[in-house]
Amino acid sequence: MATTRPLPNPFTPTFGFVPSYLAGREKDVNNLTRALQAGPGNPDLSSILMGARGTGKTVLLSLLADEAPAYGWVAVNVSACEGMLEEIIDLATQAADDYVASDSNLRLKGINVAQLFGLEWEYRDPSRGTWRTRMNKVLDSLAAYDIGLLLTVDEVQANLDEMVKLVSTYQHFVRERRRVALFMAGLPQRVSQLLNEDSVTFLRRASLYHLDRIPDYEIRVAIEKTVTEAGGTIEPIALDKLVCATDGYPYMMQLAGYRSWEHATVGAITDIDAEWGIEVAREEMDHRILAVTYDSLSPKDQVFLEAMSRDSSTSLQADIAKRMGVTSGYASEYKRRLIEQGVIEERARGVLAFAIPGMRDYVLRMKQERSDRS
């Protein structure tokens, strides 16, 4: 008896995977790809993506790196960590190798990596010069064939010497009008710390992209297209519930969609499938996003969130300060820090809301657990 083969799950909650349909970021993608097309002089070639965990920063970097070759750029993708500068040089040669191998025009000209970089690849040896002079040789080799270099750096952090060195050196490349671009991504607080570094004031002129909540109508379109273009179906009530549970948060959309599809029969998502998927996704959100975010906060920040959690929707800053027993001005400092970390957002002057789905309920549970232990 023949069995029905399951359809591949089209949702991608895996870190950095580019989804089949990217919701709510079309304008950002268009701006940044136009910058690659325009080349040196476009201000968006130096850009920083800011947002809370799960807002799609890494996905957007991955997508832009994938798009870069179409505009004559090779992309090097690294995370901010020790050894990143040497990794950039190694990956630049590898990326150029792949670009040459895939470009028919360059193949017809008989160009290969040995011609691009020299058989010895001297610049890969740290003893042959500073990182800047060695990178100049890489950029010169690429420029000879009108190839640009896009650097994407994820998880930026200000307390890393190599991060500061990269940005300090990059500004010289820009002044020399080299065909180089730098797209970075990080949590708002870490980006702010980096921008406040005295040695990288140049970076304050970079374009800032705040990855905020995606409107419900765009989430709805994204879920429906993801399902139908994969050959599946979804009941209207199931779609409504997934949109509501997502609450504008890209990672939750992918996670709840993935679990709902997983529970469905041959890609036909029903109301029951959506309910099951949402429940499982919320449990996973607790461990992967909410706990990590909450545990990184100071005790006073957590008290601020507890005061916010008493409201069912938005909160007034004045009410929060009163519950904390402090002045509104004193509470403003905690508000600022939590906004910078992407935990809350200001919907209007003095009107605050949680920026991450499920955070209010998580804060209430943590408060109750502490009460039960005392």
Do 280 and 319 sit in the same domain of this protein?
Answer: no
What confidence score (pLDDT) does residue 101 get? 64
Identify whether 2 is part of a domain: no
What confidence score (pLDDT) does residue 129 get? 75
Do 158 and 177 sit in the same domain of this protein?
Answer: yes
Using the structure block, give the residue that is written with the tokens 């991060």.
163
Sequential pLDDT tens for the chain (374 residues)? 344 567 899 999 887 788 888 888 999 999 999 999 999 999 999 999 998 888 889 999 999 999 999 999 999 999 999 999 999 988 887 777 676 666 545 543 444 444 554 433 445 555 567 889 888 888 888 888 888 999 999 999 888 889 989 998 999 999 999 999 999 999 887 888 888 887 788 888 899 999 988 999 999 999 999 999 999 999 999 999 999 999 899 999 999 999 999 999 888 999 999 999 999 999 999 998 899 999 999 999 999 999 999 998 899 999 999 999 999 889 999 998 898 888 898 888 889 999 888 899 999 999 888 888 87
353 vs 335: CA distance, rounded Å: 11
Domain span holding position 44:
26-210
Do 33 and 155 sit in the same domain of this protein?
Answer: yes
Run of H or E including 351: strand 351-354
- Choosing from 293, 318, 352, the residue where a domain stops is 293
Do 44 and 179 sit in the same domain of this protein?
Answer: yes
In three state form, how does the secondary structure of 56-98 look? CHHHHHHHHHHHHHHHCEEEEEEECCCCHHHHHHHHHHHHHHH
Identify whether 229 is part of a domain: yes
What confidence score (pLDDT) does residue 222 get? 95
Q: Print burial letters for 271-287: b (CB count within 10 Å at least 16), e (below 16).
A: eebbbbbbebbbebbbe
Which CATH number characterizes residue 222's domain? 1.10.8
Q: How many domains does the chain have?
A: 3
What confidence score (pLDDT) does residue 149 get? 95
Identify whether 17 is part of a domain: no
Using the structure block, give the residue that is written with the tokens 């097309």.
37
What confidence score (pLDDT) does residue 4 get? 57
Do 134 and 240 sit in the same domain of this protein?
Answer: no
255 vs 160: CA distance, rounded Å: 32
Identify whether 226 is part of a domain: yes
What count of Cα atoms within 13 Å lies in the side-chain half-sphere of residue 137? 19
- Choosing from 210, 233, 261, the residue where a domain stops is 210
Q: Print burial letters for 212-222: b (CB count within 10 Å at least 16), e (below 16).
A: ebbeeebbbeb
Using alpha carbons, select from 289, 296, 55 the residue that is nearest to residue 185.
55
* Three-state SS at 347: strand
Do 84 and 204 sit in the same domain of this protein?
Answer: yes
Identify whether 6 is part of a domain: no
Do 171 and 248 sit in the same domain of this protein?
Answer: no
What confidence score (pLDDT) does residue 103 get? 59
On whether the pTM is more than 0.75, the answer is yes
What confidence score (pLDDT) does residue 126 get? 53
The answer to whether the CB of 146 falls within 8 A of the CB of 73 is no
Identify whether 3 is part of a domain: no
What confidence score (pLDDT) does residue 141 get? 82
The answer to whether the CB of 149 falls within 8 A of the CB of 92 is yes
**Which residues are CB-neighbours of 48 under 8 A, at least 6 positions away?**
156, 183, 184, 185, 186, 191, 203, 206, 207, 208, 209
What confidence score (pLDDT) does residue 192 get? 84
Do 47 and 78 sit in the same domain of this protein?
Answer: yes
Identify whether 326 is part of a domain: yes
